[in-house]
Amino acid sequence: MAAPKGNRFWEARSSHGASPKFEHANDLWDACLEYFEWVHANPLQESKVVQSSGKPKVITLPKMRAMTINGLCVFLDIEERTWRLWRAEREDLLPVITRVEQIIRVQKFEGAAADLLNPSIIARDLGLADKTELTGKDGGPIQTVDPSKLSTEALRELMGAMDATPDTDGS
């Protein structure tokens, strides 16, 4: 999906020109706080058609903007791989990076839990999923049968067993 016309998200960067160098953790923390404030001050806008005095009217409603590492990187004017590199190699920045990632994760989780953000999208983004794993007897692999390799007699026996099995769907 393309960005909406008039989108000026790129202007939200914390600086212009060469990528900023965060020599101290406090500098990175301050820039991240700017991003958090920007996200809060710049919600997404949803247009809705409502009835007003019997006539349709378009209104604009603010919607929570999800914080993301990608959005933060755009704001900081760095590439996401730079963020990952700092996470791996800059021990001086690691406490800030860890805290920022935790704040972003909590904001998305709480926004989805309150239905302010799309719960399905956020669950996938956060790696949350309802999983059901099926296994065979005693946790082993599920046994399958290739019907093309069964004898005619075995197929008849299988069909008879299926016919004798009561329906469990109530029909």
In tens digits, the chain (171 residues) has pLDDT values of: 566 677 776 566 655 555 457 989 999 999 999 999 999 999 999 999 999 899 999 999 999 999 999 999 999 999 999 999 999 999 999 999 999 999 999 999 999 999 988 888 888 888 877 667 778 788 788 878 787 888 888 888 888 888 877 766 655
Q: What is the 3-state secondary structure (H, E, C) of the chain?
A: CCCCCCCCHHHHCCCCCCCCCCCCHHHHHHHHHHHHHHHHHCCEEEEEEEEECCEEEEEEEEECCCCCHHHHHHHHCCCHHHHHHHHHHCCCCHHHHHHHHHHHHHHHHHHHHCCCCCHHHHHHHCCCCCCCCCCCHHHCCCCCCCHHHCCHHHHHHHHHHHHHCCCCCCC
Class of domain 32-125 (CATH, top level)? mainly alpha
Q: How far apart are CA 13 and CA 22, in angstroms?
A: 15
- pLDDT for the residue 15: 58
Listed by start position, the domains of the chain span: 32-125
Please state, in angstroms and rounded to a whole number, the distance separating the CA atoms of residues 118 and 129: 14
CB 26 within 8 A of CB 91: no
Question: Using alpha carbons only, what angle is made at residue 63 by residues 122 and 7, rounded to the nearest 5 degrees?
Answer: 95
* Tokens encoding 60: 């604009």
Q: What is the pLDDT of residue 108?
A: 94
Residue 45's Cβ-count burial label (10 Å; 0-12, 13-18, 19+) is exposed
Q: Structure pTM?
A: 0.63
